[in-house]
Amino acid sequence: MNRNSRRSRREAAAAEEASGTAGFESRTSEEQLTILEALVEEARASMYEAINSHYRDFLNIKFHGQDPLDEVATLNDKYGLVQSTIDPSAHKSKERLDTVGCALRAIVLLAKIHADLKDIDDQIWRGEIAVAASSVAEIGQLLGELKDSVPIFADAQAVGLLQMQYMKKKSALKAELDYLMAEMYQINDVGASVVEMVVSYRVMANYDDALYDSPVTIGDLFFALANLDLFCDKMDVLADALIHRWFVPLLRNPNESLAVSKVKLFATINIGAYTASSGSKSSGGDAHITLSHCELVRDKWSTVLNFIRDEMFYDVSIDEEHAAIYEYLGAKLWAALWPRLHESLLVPLVPADIDAIGDTQNMVPLLELEERWLELGLITEDKMHIKDSIRSLLQTYVGKRRRDLLTTVASVLATDDANTVVVGGEGPVTDMLC
């Protein structure tokens, strides 16, 4: 068939559709309703055939390249026309129209699900991970709506096929996200005591080394994880690695070497790269916590925190669409690290004698470290445990000193003694709590 013949057929089909629409509008509302019922039944049968043929591997040629939403779009227009012209007092006609509306709604849902499912494989292959995740999430909602709203108007076999395909596509996308997560956050043991994390800002190819049409970014990955409600598990894995491979070793031995490097496509953070060969020993057994020790912990932990914010969340909006992922990771880290910080540093710094309460300068770096967590948005004001603990400590000592003073004054007054009592001296460093 030559081009002129195909063009003539398309023009004839368009003319036929136009004349059919015009003829439909000229009929009475009852005639329109009868025609619409027949058209909906025909569309439903056609949709079932399209679904069954597509997913049972015997695609009918008449459905090849066909958009399942095209036909239902014209039916929606006709339904709207009948709805606007039917007599509200004609109860039987109204009931028939309601039935047609429910059936049409079921067809629309089936068509949308079918159309989205057909595109997901190509979206994953092209690297359109965010689009594929949106499609999967929408299909899940549409299937739920189909089940809850119009179950009796949808063929169970067709719905079952769509649900099965939905699970397959979702599993394929999850596998792709697992691959991307492993590629973007690679944690490697380099030698006996050196650990590195390499953060790739974008991934160029899939697991078969086939290039994506456009690279997948960290933002794309987080968008997909959030849409599929998978980010908690992924952030748990990252948090566990950061806690046990970086934060805890640096808490035990802040002299441990820590280095960050960055190039155009990726950034690296490693721990132990120099101290592993120098035989550096942990200072965790030292019972006396010095100011320099606390300052080193503050500085090294701050380096890791900056790496999390600037590199692990590279070019990601943590204040808007990805705030939940960032905040979840911060809360997970702080919940695990605060008890260790409290036991390893804060408790040993508590003065054993009330007269030593003024010597609290060693606590200042810990307060500054907690402030850094807050500035980066990794914790909230109600999680400022270090500040609350030190404030409570100082209030306890001040209260005890006040009680001792009042007891002394009461004793002097009771004995009518003219002796004087000297009180005061250097107080605690309260300005660090302001």
Q: The pTM is what?
A: 0.77
The mean-pLDDT minimum among 146-160, 167-181, 371-385 falls in 146-160
What is residue 431's predicted lDDT score, i.e. its pLDDT? Answer: 52
Q: What share of the chain in percent tops pLDDT 70?
A: 76
What percentage of residues in the chain have a pLDDT greater than 90? Answer: 46
Predicted confidence at residue 67, as pLDDT, reads 62
pLDDT band at 273; cut points 50, 70, 90: low
Residue 428 predicted with pLDDT over 50: no
pLDDT bin (cut points 50, 70, 90) of residue 43 is confident
Q: Are 104 and 40 in contact (CB under 8 A)?
A: yes
Reduced DSSP (H G I as helix, E B as strand, rest coil) percent helix, strand, coil of the chain, to 5:
70, 10, 25
**CA-based R_g, the chain, Å:** 35
Does 53 or 200 have the greater pLDDT score?
Answer: 200
Distance CA 3, CA 74 (A): 27
**Structural contact between residues 365 and 297, judged by C-beta atoms closer than 8 angstroms:** yes
Of 14-28, 362-376, 404-418, the range with the highest mean pLDDT is 362-376
**What's the confidence (pLDDT) of residue 427?**
45
What pLDDT, in 10s, does the model give residues 63-83? Answer: 445 566 777 777 888 888 888
Please give the residue that has the higher pLDDT: either 321 or 358.
321
Of 8-17, 212-221, 305-314, which range is least confident? Answer: 8-17
> Residue 20: pLDDT band by 50, 70, 90 thresholds?
low
Region 157-182: mean pLDDT is 93
Task: Please report the DSSP string for 31-96 in residue order.
Answer: HHHHHHHHHHHHHHHHHHHHHHHHHTT---GGGTT--HHHHHHHHHHHHHHHHHHS-TT-HHHHHH
- pLDDT score at 100: 86
CA distances from 411 to 10, 264, 354, 416, 418 (A): 109, 74, 21, 9, 11
| Residue 353 reports pLDDT greater than 80 | no
- Of residues 149 and 194, more confidently modeled: 194
**In this structure, are residues 47 and 158 in contact, taking their beta carbons and an 8 Å threshold?**
yes
Quick one: pLDDT at residue 45? 81
Amino acid at 125: W
Q: What is the pLDDT of residue 422?
A: 54
| pLDDT of 314 | 95
How does the average pLDDT of the chain come out, rounded? 81
Residue appearing with tokens 């490697």 = 188
* 237 vs 288, higher pLDDT: 237
